[in-house]
Amino acid sequence: MKSLNIVVASILVTAIFTSCKKTDINSTDRDTDRTGKGAVVQPESINPVPVSPCSNYSVTLDRYYLSRQTTTFIWKIYNDQPKTLKDLKEWRILLSNTVAKSIQAAYIGNSLESMHPIDPVQAYGDNSDNCYSGPAFTFGTGTRGEVPTYYSIVLTGYFAQGSSHIFLTSKGQPDCCERFIDGVGNEFH
């Protein structure tokens, strides 16, 4: 009986170790996809995207208000690397025709309390250069050092918070960078 127990225990131990054995000692669990059919490999970019000198500006939608048939968007931009990154010269936001026709006012300031109006008619138009060609709303005042700058547009009507396409230009730099930020969405009633 004792020899039978040893044989059964030996078979059980062999079965457990055989079922856990890997066929390739170099493979790991992260080398196979969830189906277990093959390796998951992240391809390296053949043509890496160059980092723009203005890609590290912090751009956030700071405030979004709906009231009395108006929508207000306030963005905050600052240079979080003033020793290595030049100040922002200007930035542009692409707006649909509906949004552009709804612009009631625009403001710029170094704080929410110190915002002053800018002429939205002069700021919107075809300001073509090597950065972007076509109609856009241009905020022609940039940043200074680490001090945040606030930018606002006030629209007639109700607009959802959506995503906006922007172009940023650094002082003394001929190129620009583009990105998508939280911003102006579609009009709703």
Q: What is the pLDDT of residues 30-83, one digit of tens each?
A: 333 333 443 333 334 343 344 555 667 899 999 999 999 999 999 999 888 888
CA 175 to chain centre: 19
Q: How far apart are CA 166 and CA 158, in angstroms?
A: 21
Question: Sign (positive/negative) of CA torsion 174, 179, 181, 184?
Answer: positive
The answer to whether 94 and 186 are in contact (CB under 8 A) is: no
So what's the pLDDT on residue 151?
96
Least confident of 117-121, 131-135, 150-154, 185-189: 131-135
**CA count, 13 A, side-chain hemisphere, 62:** 15
So what's the pLDDT on residue 52?
56
Q: What is the pLDDT of residues 174-185, one digit of tens each?
A: 778 888 999 999
- Considering 1-15, 87-101, 128-142, 167-181, the range whose residues carry the highest mean pLDDT is 87-101
So what's the pLDDT on residue 60?
94
Q: How far apart are CA 104 and CA 106, in angstroms?
A: 7
Q: What is the pLDDT of residues 24-35, one digit of tens each?
A: 333 333 333 333
- CATH architecture assigned to 57-188: Sandwich (2.60)
Residue 34 belongs to what H/E stretch? Answer: none
Confidence grade of residue 119 (pLDDT, cut at 50, 70, 90): confident
Average pLDDT, the chain: 75
| CB proximity list for 144: less than 8 A, separation 6 or greater | 87
Would you say the pTM of this structure is higher than 0.85? no
